[in-house]
């Protein structure tokens, strides 16, 4: 059983995670945090050293949620192609998954933190590499099992695939037009069938 202090810390993280994700590190004020949590500034900072530590904990919470979902998608039984198509299907509805998170944590934090917060920016780059690595592993296993062929190395293809998915997420975020997600995924599915399927 967790202590009251641990439960309070977790409550703060879960409550402010979408606030930081939506408004960014610089754009999130102390009043935003106290309003969201219903706690005083002293109560919040009694659990965190400073705003940067809280923002990092909030980002880690959101990114772990995303990684857990991606793990679930890429670890289904089936062929490597089944797993990749499972991933693209998820990105077709990515906006629905991230709505309660305040949007895409990878995109939002990546842009916001680049010039504003070195720790958050570093954490974001690590998550990007981890996601690309997960996709690359699925592709590598597919090549090793003779399920697919790749025109480039698994990591290179994984990076390109994830770049296109994140590009669609970026354009959707800017325009709020879901066609960017739907059309990009449709194109990727066609590309995967034509380029990877043996």
Query: For 52-69, how does the pLDDT look when each residue is reduced to its tens digit (9 = 90+)?
Result: 999 999 999 999 999 999
Tell me which residue of 103, 104, 191, 193 sits closest to 148, measured CA to CA.
193
Number of independent structural domains in the chain: 1
Q: Answer yes or no: is pLDDT of 198 > 80.
A: no
Q: Could you tell me the CA-to-CA distances from 63 to 114, 125, 191 in Å, in that order?
A: 17, 11, 28
Rounded Cα distance between 60 and 17, Å, is: 9
Question: Does residue 160 form part of some domain?
Answer: yes
Which residues, 6+ apart, have CB-to-CB distance to 52 below 8 Å? 25, 117, 119, 120
Asked whether the beta carbons of 95 and 161 are under 8 A apart, the reply is: no
Which of 122, 120, 96, 95 has its CA nearest to residue 109? 120
Q: Residue 120: is its pLDDT beyond 70?
A: yes
- The reply to whether 6 falls in a domain is no
**Residues above pLDDT 90, as percent of the chain:** 88
Containing domain of residue 171, as a range?
Answer: 60-195
Task: Tell me, yes or no, whether 188 lies in a domain.
Answer: yes
Identify the sign of the CA torsion 122, 123, 127, 133: positive
The mean per-residue pLDDT over the stretch 25-40 comes to: 94
Lowest mean pLDDT among 1-15, 68-82, 105-119, 162-176: 1-15
Name the pLDDT band for 4 (thresholds 50, 70, 90). confident
The pLDDT of residue 75 is: 94
Look at residue 115 and tell me if it is in a domain.
yes
Question: What pTM did the predictor assign?
Answer: 0.92
**Residue 165 domain flag:** yes
Domain annotation covers residue 184? yes
pLDDT for residue 135: 98
For the chain, give the mean pLDDT. 94
Which CATH number does the domain housing residue 106 bear?
Answer: 1.10.357.10
Q: Is the pLDDT of residue 139 over 80?
A: yes
pLDDT at 195 over 80: yes
Least confident range of 71-75, 100-104, 113-117: 113-117
Q: Both tokens of residue 30?
A: 């102390």
Does residue 97 sit within a domain? yes
pLDDT, mean of residues 176-196: 94
Average pLDDT over residues 107-116: 92
Helices (H), 75-153: 80-92, 94-98, 105-114, 118-144
Q: With 70 as the cut, is the pLDDT of residue 1 above it? A: no
Is-contact 104 173, C-beta < 8 A?
yes
Q: Is pLDDT of 2 > 90? A: no
Kindly state whether residue 24 falls inside one of the protein's structural domains: no
């Amino acid at each position: 059983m967790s202590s009251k202090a641990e439960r309070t810390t977790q409550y703060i993280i879960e409550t402010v995670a979408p606030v930081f994700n939506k408004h960014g590190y610089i754009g999130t004020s102390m009043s935003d945090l106290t309003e969201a949590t219903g706690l005083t500034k002293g109560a919040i900072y009694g659990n965190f050293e400073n705003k940067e530590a809280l923002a990092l904990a909030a980002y880690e919470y959101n990114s772990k949620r995303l990684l857990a979902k991606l793990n679930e998608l890429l670890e289904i039984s089936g062929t490597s192609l089944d797993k990749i198509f499972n991933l693209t299907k998820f990105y077709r509805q990515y906006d629905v998954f991230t709505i309660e998170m305040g949007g895409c944590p990878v995109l939002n934090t990546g842009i916001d933190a680049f010039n504003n917060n070195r720790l958050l920016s570093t954490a974001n780059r690590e998550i990007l590499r981890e996601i690309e690595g997960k996709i690359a592993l699925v592709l590598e296993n597919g090549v090793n099992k003779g399920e697919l062929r790749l025109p480039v190395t698994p990591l290179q293809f994984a990076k390109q695939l994830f770049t296109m998915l994140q590009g669609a997420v970026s354009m959707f975020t800017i325009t709020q037009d879901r066609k960017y997600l739907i059309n990009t995924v449709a194109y990727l599915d066609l590309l995967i069938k034509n380029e990877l399927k043996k």
